[in-house]
């Protein structure tokens, strides 16, 4: 008799849309409540339903972020608003922030911002 290992179910996938790698130099200039200079976030990945970014300061889950998504190389810009879903402090001292867009964007709108 041969022993078989139990089948392990893969972890559940929570993403609604597939994530894409951003084009080199894609950033988000996040508006700050006091009207000061925008906080600069480096975009880690993007989908039609959300975005993840690296930011120097944390943002609390549930916080609404608004700003301008832009490419440094070709000048494409788009206003965005997103709700923070998760935050993780990295060993570098930066924060990995995942957020869902308040209104999903289309694949066509996303196109200038992906590699």
Q: What is the pLDDT along the chain (115 residues), one digit of tens a residue?
A: 455 544 544 444 454 556 667 778 899 999 988 888 899 999 999 999 999 999 999 999 999 999 999 998 888 999 999 999 999 999 999 999 999 999 999 999 999 998 7
Task: Report the pLDDT value the prediction gives residue 19, as an integer from 0 to 100.
Answer: 62
Q: Looking up tokens 């494409």, which residue turns up?
A: 76
Q: How many CB atoms lie within 10 A of CB 99?
A: 24
* Residue 64 token pair: 């609404």
CATH numbers and ranges of domains, the chain: 26-109 (2.40.10.220)
pTM of the predicted model, to two decimals? 0.78
Calpha distance 71→114 (Å, rounded): 9
């Amino acid at each position: 008799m041969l022993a078989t290992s139990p089948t392990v179910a893969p972890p559940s996938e929570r993403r609604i849309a597939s994530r894409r790698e951003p084009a080199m130099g894609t950033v988000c200039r996040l508006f700050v409540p006091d009207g000061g200079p925008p906080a600069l976030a480096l975009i880690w990945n993007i989908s039609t339903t959300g975005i993840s970014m690296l930011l120097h300061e944390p943002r609390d889950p549930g916080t609404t972020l608004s700003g301008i998504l832009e490419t440094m190389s070709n000048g494409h810009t788009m206003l965005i608003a997103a709700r923070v879903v998760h935050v993780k402090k990295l060993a570098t001292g930066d924060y990995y922030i995942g957020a869902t867009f308040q209104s999903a964007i289309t694949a066509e709108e996303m196109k200038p911002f992906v590699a």
